[in-house]
Structures are given as structure tokens and as C-alpha cells.
Chain A
Amino acid sequence: MYMFTVIVGAGGAGVYLASRLSSEGHKVTVIDIDADALKELTKKAPEASTIIGDASRIEVLRRAGLEKAKTLAVLTGDDDRNLSIAMLAKNEFHVPRVIARINDPKHEWLFDRHTGVDYGFSQDALLVEAVLQAIQTV
């Protein structure tokens, strides 16, 4: 089924997610403040739309068509930005599924419905889980 996803942050994870989703035929829009990062993204995910701007600004989210998005993935390297963007997405745009990246494991407690986050993922925690699993299966 066709889905519209907005991604904030054109870093490694954002680019990879955008190319995976668009190769499966989903509509994707990526927001980043850095025009060069978006240029790189277009090479790897040519079908994805891009918006240059600060995603914590409401008019930037509006330009990305966030009110029509089924999912928002907030993947910047800055936890307070990720949280404030998630809050705006939930309160102002009623995005059904808000997924946010947790950078500092100490901030994990903040990523829940109180801040508009449906799923929070910490890269460190995911990696540690995977490593532990690998150790145990050896």
C-alpha cells in the first residue's frame, strides 16, 4: 500500500530510509537545513522530494505537506530539536505515527506520548541489543 512519509534529517539514517521507502514505491519528503546534504540524498534516492529549511519552524513543516503524512521520522542529531518537532507534528498536524531518534540514552525517558512521540529509537540501545544477541548465540 502506498504511504506518505516525511523524514527530518538527511544524515546517514535519513538517506538510507528515504532510499528504502522510495524504492518500494512510497512517497517521501526529506527536510534538512543543509542544502548539500539534500543534494547528496537526491543522488541516492532520486524519487524523494526535498525541502531546505529548519523543521522546527511550522511553515517549513507545512511546506513539506506534513498534514497529509501518515508517518514522520525525526532523525536529527539533536534531541531537543527532535522532541520539539515531534510535539509540533502531533499537536499542530495530527500525524498518526511519529518516530523519533534518541541520541543521548539519558534522554530516553522523554520520548513518549507526552512529547508527541509514538516510537523512540536509540541507536546505542539498538546496537547494544544486537551485540548482546550475537554474543549469546555464539
Chain B
Amino acid sequence: MNEINVVVVGCGRVGSHLADLLSSEGHRVAVIDKDPKAFRRLSTGFKGIRIQGDALDREILYQAGIQGADALAAATDSDSLNATIAIIAKNKFRVPKLAIRVFDPSDAEIYRRLGILTVSPTEWGASLMKDMLVHPELHSKLTIGSGEVQIIELAVPPALAGRPVEDVNVPREVMTVAVTRQGKAVVPYQGMLLQDGDILTLAVSATAMSRVEELLSH
């Protein structure tokens, strides 16, 4: 795997956790926070650098290595500060990958339009909790984007055994990406007949979880 240089702004719960994760995977991480006590949240194994100061101060950003950074994440508790830092990283330093945390879902949409990957824990948490409550058997293996697409796995329902794989797919909503038969996964071909005991891996639009419920209840 390629190690990347990442600047993390904000060493709160999200920022420190992110910095620890990246550092444990061998990436080079610099964390900025204005509060020196915030760095206590980092684990003892954290190998990156800690910079105490104002992330809007050019010297501080230089110290964090913004000029050669491959990615920047802003997770302070201020939406406007996170957005400002990302815009600066994008427009002044050409940092290729940017991710910010924004509490307000309506703001998240605006920043996505500016080309910044925006995670809104409010939006995401709500959608995840809804799925856990309403579709408990469909646990997500992976979420794509900000949770708009989920990858889920399920056993072929008896009613679908003997039917071609296309019968599962619904344009823009459900797509079968793999079929696992006797422990071996394949990308399905047109007309592949499903068998009892097959495991389907589906990409499902978050708004179409009820479609999959329908499939299961057949």
C-alpha cells in the first residue's frame, strides 16, 4: 500500500481517531489543534507530528507540511472553519484530496458542490440508525460516498433459486456485484442462474433498502 502525507486539523474525538487510524496504517500524519491538551486524545502509538496553533496561520500550515500533502481532513467543531481550511488547501496549496466534517446537512450539500468530500455525521448517523432499526438483517459491509450506496450481503432467498441474476437488479437501486458459491466469488454474467445457498453481494442505494426487503420476503 502507498503511504500518503496527511494533514488533520482538529484533534477532537473524530480528528484524533482519524489521525490514529492513519498513523497505524503507516501514513505520515500531522495533526493541528489550537489546544495543547487536545493531543492527549491520541494513542500512545501515534507516530505522527503534533502541532499546536491556529490552522489559519500560514506558518502552522507549513509546519504541518501542507505544501507536499496528499490529503487534508478538517474535523474541528466549527463547520465554517472546516470549510475555510479545505478551500484554502484546495485553492492555495492544490491538496488533491480533501475531507471535512460538517454538522449541518444543508451546508454539507454546498461544500460538496465546491468539490470537497463532506461527511455529515448527523445525516450519516441518522441514515445508519434508521437502517439498523428498520432493516436489521441487512447489515452493511461497506458504505460508499457519504452513505448513499451500501454494499450488503445476503443469502439467495428460496424464491429466487433457479432464476437469472438479472431478476435481482433494479436500475439505479439494486445491482448484484458478486455471487459467492461454495466459498468462491464471481462477478455474475448475464443469465447466470442463482442456486440455493448462493450468497449475493449487492450494491444498494440507501433510499432503496425496502426493495431488498421485498426481495427477501418473496
Contacts and interface: CB of A to CB of B under 8 A. Distances in A.
A39 interface: no
A83 B84 CA distance: 6
- Range, interface on chain B: 20 to 34
Interface stretch (A6-14, A28-36, A86-94, A130-138): A86-94
Contacts of A115: 84, 87-88, 91
A109 interface: yes
B78 A80 contact: yes
B127 to A, nearest CB: 22
Interface residues of A, number: 21
A104 B87 CA distance: 19
Given A80-B80, A88-B110, A110-B88, 11 more contacts: A56-B79, A58-B107, A59-B106, A80-B56, A83-B80, A91-B114, A92-B110, A106-B56, A114-B87, A114-B92, A115-B88
Interface string B93-131: 000000000001011001001100000000000000000
B92 A87 contact: no
Residue among A57, A58, A80, A109 with most chain B CB within 10 A:
A80
Contact of A84 (B54, B80, B92): B80
A27 interface: no
Interface of A: 56-59, 79-81, 83-85, 87-88, 91-92, 104, 106-107, 109-110, 114-115
B113 to A, nearest CB: 8
Interface in B105-162: 106-107, 110, 113-114
A8 B106 CA distance: 21
Given A56-B79, A114-B91, A84 B84 contact: yes
6 contacts: A56-B79, A84-B83, A87-B83, A106-B54, A114-B87, A114-B92
Nearest to A55: B80
Given A57-B107, A88-B110, A110-B56, A81 B88 contact: no
A115 B57 CA distance: 15
B40 interface: no
Nearest to A78: B80
Contact of B56 (A57, A92, A107): A107
Interface string B45-87: 0000000001011100000000000000000001111011001
Contacts of A85: 80
Contacts of B84: 80, 83-84, 87, 110, 115
Contacts of A81: 80
Contacts of A56: 79-80
A58 B79 CA distance: 13
Nearest to B93: A114
Contacts of A114: 87-88, 91-92
A78 B79 CA distance: 13
Interface string B8-30: 00000000000000000000000
A90 B37 CA distance: 37
Contacts of B56: 79-80, 83, 104, 106-107, 110
